Amino acid sequence: MPAHDPTIRRIHARTNHVCYGMGLGIIVLDDVYPGFPGDVRNASAYPFPIQYEIAEGVDIASLVRGPFRDDLLAPVLKAARRLERMGCRAIAAECGYFAWFQEEIADSVSVAVFASSLLQVSLAQMVCGSKQIVGILVASSRHLEGRHLTSVGVAPGSNYVVHGAGDDGKTPQFASLWNKDLRPQTPTAEYELAEADIVRVARDFAAAHPDMGAMVLECTGFQPFARAIQQEIGMPVFSWSTLLDYAYSVAVHRDFYGHV
């Protein structure tokens, strides 16, 4: 393989873009907690460049449970525009509940926007066909509203079912990271315990719906365990990783090296 891309013979500035060779820009929550490799908050496991920008003042509580989400739009759009100016080729976010702002973010920038893993629900529905349902595993089902789904193109009442992993207190490792009322001064989680909890929840969710043909993981924190979930439930699993891989491949299409 050549030492550099031979098709790049002349370079030119992109309007208002400061940096080049960028990958995905990620809008992150204004919260302090760690993420295992695979979590969108942890850049180390992804094979493409990631640039973060904090949506100042937008934390988990205000985005997921807050009554005044419209007040969060300004800092979210500010973060998106900063990522675009930095030179990011596409923009995503770190929480599935950013679906609330998918349309507004996309309208505010000129690059592609992948604000939520929930964008994959309609694709999963098409893949499965109308005789099967898509399981949507979210952090909290009671905080998932119709707008979260319609904003990413999911028809209300179509072939999907929703379950909240944290609804019944069966995922304490995640609560210790994300819930301000429960997490310790230094947010901490144990990988093996978190994996066992989320795999069990996903297994029970799938077992309760024998006609489930695929599962979509809304939460970025579930992503590190997506393979273990798939091995347990034996069906297609759509996650933040599948979305980000797709987003990068759309924004920066790969070339092909081979032989005939």
Mark whether 91 and 187 lie in a shared domain: no
Mark whether 37 and 105 lie in a shared domain: yes
Q: What is the CATH number of the domain that holds 159?
A: 3.40.50.1860
In a domain, 110, yes or no: yes
Mark whether 86 and 130 lie in a shared domain: no
The secondary structure of residue 155, as a DSSP letter, is: P
Mark whether 111 and 127 lie in a shared domain: no
| pLDDT score recorded for residue 1 | 56
Mark whether 139 and 225 lie in a shared domain: yes
CA distances from 243 to 15, 118, 248 (A): 27, 9, 9
| pLDDT score recorded for residue 3 | 64
Stated pTM of the model: 0.91
pLDDT: is 3 or 35 the higher one?
A: 35
In a domain, 260, yes or no: no
Which of 80, 86, 91 shows the shortest CA–CA distance to 18?
Answer: 86
Residue 2 in this model has a pLDDT that exceeds 70: no
In a domain, 81, yes or no: yes
Mark whether 184 and 142 lie in a shared domain: yes
| 248 backbone dihedrals φ, ψ, rounded to 5° | -70, -40
Residue 52 in this model has a pLDDT that exceeds 70: yes
Residue 103 in this model has a pLDDT that exceeds 80: yes
Provide the domain count of the chain: 2
In a domain, 1, yes or no: no
To 10 degrees, what angle do helices 226-233 and 191-207 make? 40
Q: Do residues 22 and 88 lie in contact, with contact meaning Cβ atoms separated by under 8 Å?
A: yes
At 14, is the pLDDT very low, low, confident or very high (cuts 50, 70, 90)? confident
Mark whether 105 and 125 lie in a shared domain: no
- Number of Cβ within 10 Å of residue 191's Cβ equals 12
Domain containing 137: what range?
118-239
| pLDDT score recorded for residue 144 | 94
Which of 124, 126, 134, 77 shows the shortest CA–CA distance to 100?
Answer: 77
Residue 21 in this model has a pLDDT that exceeds 80: no
Mark whether 193 and 106 lie in a shared domain: no
Mark whether 147 and 235 lie in a shared domain: yes
Rounded CA gap, 78 and 83, in Å? 9
Mark whether 92 and 151 lie in a shared domain: no
At 254, is the pLDDT very low, low, confident or very high (cuts 50, 70, 90)? confident
Q: Do residues 83 and 27 lie in contact, with contact meaning Cβ atoms separated by under 8 Å?
A: yes
At 141, is the pLDDT very low, low, confident or very high (cuts 50, 70, 90)? very high
Q: Which of 60-74, 120-134, 202-216 is predicted with the least confidence, judged by mean pLDDT? A: 60-74
In a domain, 139, yes or no: yes
Mark whether 69 and 125 lie in a shared domain: no
Tens-place pLDDT, residues 199-214 = 999 999 999 999 999 9
Token pair for 238:
């759509």
In a domain, 9, yes or no: no
In a domain, 10, yes or no: no
Mark whether 129 and 99 lie in a shared domain: no
